[in-house]
Structure 1
């Protein structure tokens, strides 16, 4: 598991995101890359030497951050890789002193985030043709 800036993560991270979001979930490709990618810290998960998962952590200012673009290749799902990615980003957020994390969860994966302490907030909404709901996690003040 590695944390990298976009300049070093872009090729592998976009390959994963394109496969999962654009090809599998039919998200328009022009929505997949945005202005936050160059500003974010990107987590990359590997199996042997193959990048199989990714997510990003974006500083929103005032102690808040957002986790997003979390994706694991289909063949590697259910093996704990997503949990490892999320735990790596949670630790990075704590080290950087963030007090809260938010994310836009697809409804189908909300239970995954709930197991790690995220709480659903607000209404269900459509994002890129997929139903989502915001989730939030308040981080402890100390690094465990």
Structure 2
């Protein structure tokens, strides 16, 4: 059974970092010092679990009043294609709405743009490089 939890304990935060390191550092080659950053202390972290096993992660932080930035959304390779990214994003969006955010912005890796478009996000920038990976900025209004 899959569930998404807000990381409230040190173990849950470590679970989120475990998944992020597997996906971004080991699989995609992002340097660890870029992956783990100064915003990790203040962001709200999410972990996708299969039973007790961490298999996905993401975080959200308020960057301006009413605007949340979703970052570090990832699913372990062997679990992709099972709609777990949708599950994670719905949890992140729910948290944003509950904390009175009106808009979510994110920087999507270019290959993932169709995934975010299906969730209602629109591209707002030309392609740019981040950690040597092509990205585009996207956003979605979430006001109820």
Compute the TM-score of the two structures, normalised by the length of structure 1: 0.93
Tell me the residue number matched to 1:128. 131
Tell me the residue number matched to 1:73. 76
Any stretches of 5+ residues in structure 2 without a counterpart? none
Partner deviation per Cα, 1:70-115 (whole Å, 9 max, x = no partner) = 1100000010111100000101101111011100000000100001
Tell me the residue number matched to 1:103. 106
The root-mean-square deviation of aligned C-alpha atoms, in Å, is 1.2
Residues matched between the structures, number: 141
Tell me the residue number matched to 2:36. 33
1:50 Cα deviation from its structure 2 partner: 0.4
Following the alignment from structure 1 to structure 2, what is the Cα–Cα distance between the partners of residues 86 and 139? Answer: 12
Any stretches of 5+ residues in structure 1 without a counterpart? none
- More deviation, 124-133/34-43: 34-43
Q: 1:31 to 1:111 in 2, by over 3 A?
A: same
Following the alignment from structure 1 to structure 2, what is the Cα–Cα distance between the partners of residues 28 and 17? Answer: 12
Q: 1:5 to 1:124 in 2, by over 3 A?
A: farther
